[in-house]
Amino acid sequence: MPFFLRLGLSVLLTVTGIYLHAQHQVGLEAQVYPTGVIPSLNYAMPVGQAGSLEFRVGYNIVNHRDLGVQDDEKGGGFGGSIGYTPHLERVPSWCAC
């Protein structure tokens, strides 16, 4: 896939978010780097008033070509993550935000 097409697709997917009911959120994300791309699907759900629980599933596509010690490295694989984001009611006094 040409670099500019990957870059444009990553920008489009990064800014695209589909907001569901309340504060549930589904979004698409793409991380593009010189030898590959990682498209992923994100889901966030509120956990009370304290924060949100986030899930991510993606696929890493690698085509290293001859850009390093390896002559022709190609591959891919699925991955995922689970995270928690706390929501602060006010900015802490120690933060210079």
Category of 92 on φ-ψ map: left (φ > 0), alpha (ψ -120 to 50) or beta? beta
Domain range for 71: 3-86
Domain count, the chain: 1
Is residue 7 a part of any domain in this protein?
yes
Q: Are 63 and 74 in contact (CB under 8 A)?
A: yes
Is residue 33 a part of any domain in this protein?
yes
| Residue pLDDT tens, the chain, 97 long | 667 667 666 665 555 444 444 567 888 989 888 888 899 999 998 887 788 899 999 999 888 776 666 666 778 889 999 999 887 777 767 776 6
Is residue 94 a part of any domain in this protein?
no
